[in-house]
Structure formats: C-alpha cells, structure tokens
Amino acid sequence: MSAALKMQPAAPLVKLRDLTVRFVSRDSNVSAVNGVDLDLAAGESLCILGESGSGKSVTLRALMKLLPKKAVVEGGIEVAGRDVQAMNERQLQDFRGSTVAMIFQEPMTALDPVFTIGTQIAETVCRHEGISRSAGMARALELLELVQIPSAKRRLAAYPHELSGGLRQRAMIAVALACRPKLLLADEPTTALDATVQIQVLLLLRELQEKLGMGVIFVTHDLGVAGEIADRVAVMYAGRVVEEGPVGAVMRRPLHPYPQGLLGATVHAGLRGQRLTTIPGAPPSLENLPPGCAFAPRCSLAEPACTVAVPEARKVGADRMARCIKV
C-alpha cells in the first residue's frame, strides 16, 4: 500500500519510500525504478506484476541490497525496522538469510554445482545459528521434508545436477527457508518450470507462507501466478507502481489503463476466432522516459494533461491505488 493509504498502526515488515534506482555508466543513464512506495505487513503476500524492464526485479534486489555498485539507489528501504541502505557488509551478511531470503528463477545457476544440497543448506544454518555441522545436516533433512522432496534423506547427498527442475526449485526454497526468514523474496520462481510442476511449486509456496507466517514478495509477469498466490498485487510500468490493490479487485476490474490492457491482451479460453485486443507500441526506453505518465504514449485515453506531470497516486476506496489522472 502506498504511503497515503497506510492505515494499520503496526510497523510494516517492509517499508519502501520513494525508491529510485539508476544505473549510471559513461554513456548511459538508465532509470530503472522511479519512485516506488510499498508496504508489506508481516505474513502478507504481495505480487509485483510487470513486463520486462518494468523495474520489478530491481526493486526486489534493492530490498536485500543486492544491486551492483554502479547502481545509484535513493529513497528509504526499511525491512523489519532496519534501514537496509545504512548496513555495512558485515551487517548485511547477518541480515541476508536470517531476516530476508530470496529464491530465483533459475535454480541451476543459483545453487552451487560443486556442493551437495545438504551441504548448501547446512552451511546457511551453521553460519547463522552457530550450530555444529551434524546439527546443520539434521536441520537440512527437516527442511527437505518441509518442501516435500521425496526420499529426502537420499537427496541430501545429491548434487544440483542430479535433481529434476522441480526438485531443484524445492531445494532452493529449502535453502532460503533455512534460517526462518521473516521475509521471502521470490523472483519469477516458477517461470522456468513446466506447467504441471509450476502449479506444485506455487501451491507449496502458498502452504509454506501460511505455515511459517512469512511475508512474501513475488515478482512475476504472469497474471495467473498472481491469481494463485497473492493477497495484494502491485502493477509496475517503467519503474513506477501504476496500480495497487487486493488481487481479486485488481484482476476483476483494474483501474489503470495499463493493467486493463494487459488483462485484455492475455490469451484465455473463449477468445478463439476473435482478434486479441493489444496495447499498441512497446514499453518506453528507460534511458529516456517520456515526461508525465510513462504509459501515455500507448494509452488510448491519453490527453495533453497526461504528459505534463507524473500522475499522483490516487486512493480509491480503502485499499486501492492507481496513478492515473482519469481515476
């Protein structure tokens, strides 16, 4: 929920205020994130929806201070009451893994190919909780059982390449959950998986989130994934959140023309023989954003006022927000 909408007095687990991220090099200046405000309550599940280049993954990485040195990060990033930007390397090492953990799209590149799954999980637990290696391995076994890997005991000794895609993704989830983080960040965790495996992993993540009471931020481009897992969604376009609200409301009746177009362009049953409604054109270059609303050049409802200033976040009802002057 944006700052203006914030109602609950309890400190949120995640508090992003006016986050901007720019990638500056000698010959380019890419504005990847341009003023994002987000709150996440403990135990809540938020989905950031957006297309490639919308800034969704960059936002996620900023929460763990995982962006490269050349990224210029500004704005407030608070996770579990701590200022992430102010942390030094040492503090970050404690923070990552124990307070916040991340799972990635490609488990094969995120896991270390030369260590067994058991070793990789135990390493995390030993590092953070200072327990013995054998206790770490015992915890690893528990975690593999938690993520429902069949014959978990045998799989402890398996290397990542010996597992199928679905099991590898489960193993990565186990690594992320090793130190019971309060916040789990997931960057397209099911995009690389087959349909029958994707739904298994989604349901597992939903179950784990409820069981462990974690806050989860999910990044995806897939509306269906958001529909299965999210409490709330935030739709991003060109580095800004253009709409935010409860998943059901946003998917049934989006307020902003961009999610409206996205929903119309999503192929589903019952469209056979009809032309698909499309959003004309392509997303803007992040090196050279249009003035005002970044979606205006593709928007059928655009008028001159849209290009004057970036639309304010407008509150709609108790729990929805859209950045559009027509709302």
Partner 1 sequence: MSASPKSPVDRGGPAQPLLTVRDLKKHFPISRAVVRAVDGVTFNVLKGETLGIVGESGCGKSTTARLLMRLLDPDGGEMLFDGETVGGNNNSGGVAMKEYRRQVQMVFQDSYASLNPRLPIEDSIGFAPKVHGVSAGQARERAHELLAAVGLAPNQYARRYPHELSGGQRQRVNIARALALYPRLVVLDEPVSALDKSVEAQVLNLLMDLKEKFGLTYVFISHDLNVVQYISDRVMVMYLGLVVEQGPVDAIYDRPAHPYTRALLASRPSMDPDKRRSEPPLTGDPPNPVNPPSGCRFRTRCPFSEKVCETTPPPATDLGGGHLAACHMAADGSGHSKAGGIAA
Q: Which stretch binds partner 1 (CB under 8 A): 23-31, 110-118, 171-179, 278-286?
A: 278-286
Residue carrying the six token digits 């015992």 = 138
Identity of the residue, 86 or 269, whose beta carbon is nearer to partner 1 in the bound complex: 269
Identity of the residue, 12 or 166, whose beta carbon is nearer to partner 1 in the bound complex: 166
Q: Helix, strand or coil for residue 31? A: strand
| Residue of 227, 289, 297, 302 that binds partner 1 (CB under 8 A) | 227
Identity of the residue, 98 or 200, whose beta carbon is nearer to partner 1 in the bound complex: 200
Identity of the residue, 97 or 259, whose beta carbon is nearer to partner 1 in the bound complex: 259
Rounded (10°) CA dihedral 187, 191, 192, 193? 120
265 in contact with partner 1 (CB under 8 A):
yes
Q: How many residues bind partner 1 (CB under 8 A)?
A: 44
Residues 306 and 293: beta-carbon distance below 8 Å: yes
268 in contact with partner 1 (CB under 8 A):
yes
300 in contact with partner 1 (CB under 8 A):
no
Q: Which stretch binds partner 1 (CB under 8 A): 16-24, 126-134, 160-168, 315-323?
A: 160-168
Q: How far is the CB of 18 from partner 1 (least distance, A)?
A: 26
Residue carrying the six token digits 């992320």 = 176
Burial class from Cβ neighbours inside 10 Å (0-12, 13-18, 19+) for residue 265 reads exposed
Q: Which stretch binds partner 1 (CB under 8 A): 21-29, 129-137, 139-147, 244-252?
A: 244-252
Q: Rg of the chain's alpha carbons, rounded to an integer? A: 21
Amino acid occupying residue 21: V
222 in contact with partner 1 (CB under 8 A):
yes
Q: Which stretch binds partner 1 (CB under 8 A): 97-105, 125-133, 134-142, 224-232?
A: 224-232
Identity of the residue, 16 or 233, whose beta carbon is nearer to partner 1 in the bound complex: 233
Amino acid occupying residue 300: S
Instruction: Please list the alpha-helical segments (H only) found in the chain.
Output: 56-62, 89-98, 107-110, 117-129, 133-146, 152-155, 165-177, 195-212, 223-229, 247-252, 257-265
Annotate each residue in 184-213 with x if it binds partner 1 (CB under 8 A) or - if it does not, as one string. Answer: ----------xxxxxxx-xx----------
Rounded (10°) CA dihedral 273, 279, 281, 287? -150
301 in contact with partner 1 (CB under 8 A):
no
